[in-house]
Amino acid sequence: MLNQVYRLVAARQFEVQTVEELMTPTDIVVRPTYLSLCHADQRYFTGNRAQTALRKKLPMALIHEGIGTVVSDPQGDFQPGDRVAMVPNTPTTTNQIVKENYLPSSKFRSSGYDGFMQEYVCLQRDRVLKIPANFNSEMSAFLEMVSVGVQALTQLKQTMDADQRVLGIWGDGNLGYITATLAKTMFADSQVIVLGRHQDKLDYFSFVDATYLVDEIPADLQISQAVECTGGLGSEQAIAQIIDHLHPMGTAILMGVSEEPIDINTRMVLERGLTLQGSSRSGRQDFETAIDLLSHSDVTRERLQNLIGVTGTVQTLADVTAFFEQDLANYWGKAVMRWAV
């Protein structure tokens, strides 16, 4: 099948490329419908990555958060018209110990491998999950980010000690919001505290037990376990504060991506017996858990719907460029485009 793939070729420049898709008899073809922008996409779009990374990874179709409509399933498990989530991580091998999203051999869409900005997306059949009918499409577009939050909190449950009294989440952006929303369900008995730099963003976190500005944290605040959702150079300050406020032998899950190496006070990590664990991306299991969790919680879906920020329909590459620019100027929420190119 000849497929039109819309790739970023240089900063702020998209071009169309025809690609002959070599499909297996079990692959599923999906027409993308709603695509959600991630900071990682914006770093490529603005050219805010190391030149070596840009040279290596571009040209490449962006976007790894999105849903679509099945147009073809040779095995008939899905019907044309079925609304599905697309899993961007594509494993090429299996491993009994290492999860699919940590295998170096896995291909991840919009990171060296074409993302969802395509006419059609051809997927291995285990990369497609049906979305329940009562899910909002624009919210479902960022199910991948929800699954990333599920991955992180699942990792935390597996690593942490028995102290679940207070869960501290650093970061008042999209990832912090999603993680806090999930934490209220996955850590239902815990007190959830969110720490951020912007009071007007923290105001959106009405469902958590407490919020603090990061420069007004009470000196005696004690956190049982922590999740870092900041990224950039802000993660250095966040990790320093986590180390200061985390109980001895507590666990911190690190999720924020920084382009530059950051300093960590390892003396205090050692002294308190802390565990710092990285968490990145997600796999099919996390998508399944996310969909199941949202299916059983109307209030969680409602909170996530409140995260829908900029929306619009894109029909041309000029529309796409304008949409990315619009998102750059957006202060709060996820940007979701209805894909009609």
Partner 1 sequence: MIFAQILAGGKGTRMGHVQMPKQFLTLADKPILIHTVEKFVLESRFEAILIVCPPAWLAHTQAIVKRYLHDDRVKVVTGGADRNDTLMHGIAYLQENYDLTDDDVVITHDAVRPFITQRIIADNITAVLNHSAVDTVVPAIDTIVEGEDEAILNIPIREAMYQGQTPQSFNIKTLVKAYDQLTTAQKATLSDSCKICLLAGEDVHLVRGENFNFKITTPYDLKVATALVETRD
Chain contacts with partner 1 (rule: CB under 8 A): 1-2, 4, 16-22, 29, 31, 71-72, 74, 80-81, 119-120, 315, 340-341
Considering beta carbons, is residue 120 or 287 the nearer one to partner 1? 120
Identify residue 272 by its one-letter amino acid code.
R
CB atoms within 10 A of CB 187: 18
CA 277 – CA 207 distance, rounded (Å):
26
Q: Which long-range contacts (CB under 8 A, 24 or more apart) does 196-201 make?
A: 196/170, 196/171, 196/172, 197/172, 197/234, 198/172, 201/172, 201/173, 201/332
Q: By C-beta, is 16 or 54 nearer to partner 1? A: 16
Per-residue H/E/C for 56-87: HHCCECCCCEEEEEEEECCCCCCCCCCEEEEC
Q: Which H or E element spans position 44?
A: helix 39-45
Compute the CA torsion angle 254, 57, 116, 155 (nearest 10 deg).
-20
Compute the distance between CA of residue 279 and CA of residue 152 in angstroms, rounded to an integer: 6
The nearer residue to partner 1, 120 or 170, going by C-beta atoms, is 120
Give whole-number Cα distances, 280 to 231, 240, 254, 277, in Å: 12, 20, 8, 10
The residues facing 30 across adjacent strands are 70, 121
Closest CA to 129 of 190, 207, 77, 179: 77
Q: Closer to partner 1 by CB, 10 or 249: give it.
A: 10
Shortest Cβ 22–partner 1 spacing (Å): 6
Smallest distance, partner 1 to C-beta of residue 49, A: 22
CB of 40 to partner 1, least distance (A): 22
Work out how close the CB of 57 gets to partner 1 at its nearest, in angstroms, rounded to a whole number.
14
Nearest to partner 1 of 79, 96 (CB atom): 79
Q: How far is the CB of 337 from partner 1 (least distance, A)?
A: 14
Of the pair 119, 244, the CB lying nearest partner 1 is at 119
Residue 43 or 107: the one with the smaller Cβ distance to partner 1 is 107
Name which of 60 and 180 has its Cβ closer to partner 1: 60
Q: How far is the CB of 12 from partner 1 (least distance, A)?
A: 21
b/e burial code for range 51-80 (CB count within 10 A of at least 16 → b): eeebeeebebbbbbbbbbebeebeeeebee
Residue matched to tokens 């894909």 = 339
Report the candidate in 123, 110, 187, 111 with the shortest Cα–Cα distance to residue 149: 187
Quick one: 71 or 262, whose CB is closer to partner 1?
71
For residue 140, the minimal CB distance to partner 1 (Å) is 20
Closest separation in Å from C-beta 325 to partner 1: 22
Residue 31 Cβ vs partner 1, minimum distance, rounded to whole Å = 6
